[in-house]
Amino acid sequence: MNSSNFGEIENLFKYNNPRWLKYTLRKLGQGISRYNMIEDGDRIVLGISGGKDSLALALLLSLRRKWLPIDYELRAVQIEWQEFPMTDEQVSLIKSFFNIIDVPYVRLTETMFPGSYKDDFNCYRCARNRKRILFDYMAKEGFSKLALGHHLDDIVTTTIINMTMRGKLFTMMPIQEFFKGKLHIIRPMCEIRESAIITIKERLNLPVVKAACPYKDTNLRLSIQPVMENLFSLDPHAREKIYRSLIEIKPDYLPYSLKT
Ligand SMILES: Nc1ncnc2c1ncn2[C@@H]1O[C@H](COP(=O)(O)OP(=O)(O)OP(=O)(O)O)[C@@H](O)[C@H]1O
């Protein structure tokens, strides 16, 4: 793939959004306004892995600015693990993508295995390391919100993992406060199904350039996937029902008011 494949994406910024994308943009807006995630003047860092979810998030949030009466700043920040460097071709592709969607792009090269880990590396530690690097960057650059590419299926899968394997009714929150409100993590795609993101990736040829993960074949999320697929095939709205139950069973699960 090369940057000339971005014609379809360019058109989205010139013309009205196609019908197939409007529904997803509506779901994005629903999640954002339900939790009051984004306000006028917000400075938002987008955590970019190079995978489909975070690329779709960047595209959707940038498109949303086109017709919204409020404005917010977006900056895409990708941590490139020095142990798994991107190729020149990947770097040039991702830069063209962010150029076309009008979002400044920054790449931070860091180690995946800080000395403090010794030999004890796992997904949880890796995610914490990533969060620390991104928070440090935000504090230095004056950003107060970090948007991540988690979607409805991620939230629902995490809920089931936590309930069945950890005995806890807890999940990723759509909006999460840190340092007494100085920083927030937001998950604007909390009400968007993964299938909608796959459609975006395929129809628009998103330039997926995700670094290899040494744990990708062993991670718990992957092991539980067949169980989730089974559940979703029993009831086509199982995802939405689990999401709603979280709120109904434990109203204080979310620190922000919910208008359902
Ligand atoms: N290297 C990175 N640099 C910056 N942000 C990252 C990086 N890796 C992950 N993130 C952020 O954390 C989110 C969750 O990471 P995870 O590795 O679980 O990816 P994912 O759910 O498969 O999504 P994606 O398709 O975006 O990779 C990503 O969607 C992204 O917003």
CATH number of the domain residue 174 falls in: 3.40.50.620
* Contacts of the segment 101-104: beta carbons below 8 A, 24+ positions apart: 101/9, 101/13, 101/58, 101/59, 101/62, 101/63, 102/13, 102/62, 103/46, 103/58, 103/62, 103/74, 103/75, 103/76, 104/74, 104/75, 104/76
Which atom belonging to ligand 1 lies closest to the Cα atom of 211?
A: 1
Is residue 259 domain-resident? Answer: no
The answer to whether residue 199 scores a pLDDT higher than 90 is yes
> How close is the Cα of 78 to the center of ligand 1, in Å?
9
Is residue 25 domain-resident? Answer: yes
* 78 Cβ below 6 A of ligand 1: yes
Q: What is the pLDDT of residue 112?
A: 87
ipTM value for the complex? 0.97
Percentage of residues in the chain having pLDDT higher than 70:
91
* 79 Cβ below 6 A of ligand 1: yes
Which atom belonging to ligand 1 lies closest to the Cα atom of 210?
A: 27
* 155 Cβ below 6 A of ligand 1: no
> How close is the Cα of 129 to the center of ligand 1, in Å?
12
> How close is the Cα of 207 to the center of ligand 1, in Å?
15
Is residue 258 domain-resident? Answer: no
Q: What is the pLDDT of residue 161?
A: 94
Q: What is the mean pLDDT of residues 129-136?
A: 96
Range of the domain at 45: 3-253
At 1, is the pLDDT very low, low, confident or very high (cuts 50, 70, 90)? Answer: low
> How close is the Cα of 210 to the center of ligand 1, in Å?
9
Protein residue whose Cα sits closest to atom 21 of ligand 1: 150
Protein residue whose Cα sits closest to atom 27 of ligand 1: 51
Q: What is the pLDDT of residue 3?
A: 52
- State pLDDT tens for residues 83-127: 999 999 999 999 999 999 999 999 999 998 887 766 777 888 888
Q: What is the pLDDT of residue 233?
A: 96
* Phi/psi at 112 (5° precision): -80, -20
Do 207 and 1 meet the contact criterion of CB atoms below 8 Å apart? yes
Q: What is the pLDDT of residue 101?
A: 97
Token digits of residue 237: 């709205």
Which of the listed residues 44, 52, 53, 128 should we mutate to test ligand 1's pocket, taking the one with most ligand atoms within 8 A of CB?
53
Q: Which residues partner with 76 through β-bridges?
A: 46, 105
Q: What is the mean pLDDT of residues 129-152?
A: 97
Count of the separate structural domains present in the chain? 1
- How far is it, in rounded angstroms, from Cα 108 to Cα 36? 29
Taking alpha carbons only, the member of 112, 147, 144 closest to residue 129 is: 112
The answer to whether residue 16 scores a pLDDT higher than 60 is yes
Q: What is the pLDDT of residue 168?
A: 87
- State pLDDT tens for residues 55-69: 999 999 999 998 899
Is residue 190 domain-resident? Answer: yes
Is residue 7 domain-resident? Answer: yes
* 188 Cβ below 6 A of ligand 1: no
Q: What is the pLDDT of residue 256?
A: 47
Q: What is the DSSP letter of 80?
A: E
- How far is it, in rounded angstroms, from Cα 113 to Cα 101? 32
Contacts of 239 (CB under 8 A, 6+ apart): 152, 153, 156, 193, 232
Is residue 63 domain-resident? Answer: yes
Percentage of residues in the chain having pLDDT higher than 90:
73
At 250, is the pLDDT very low, low, confident or very high (cuts 50, 70, 90)? Answer: low
Is residue 16 domain-resident? Answer: yes
> How close is the Cα of 24 to the center of ligand 1, in Å?
20
Q: Select the more confidently predicted residue: 4 or 96.
A: 96
Q: Select the more confidently predicted residue: 65 or 253.
A: 65
Is residue 68 domain-resident? Answer: yes
Protein residue whose Cα sits closest to atom 12 of ligand 1: 148
* Phi/psi at 132 (5° precision): -60, -45
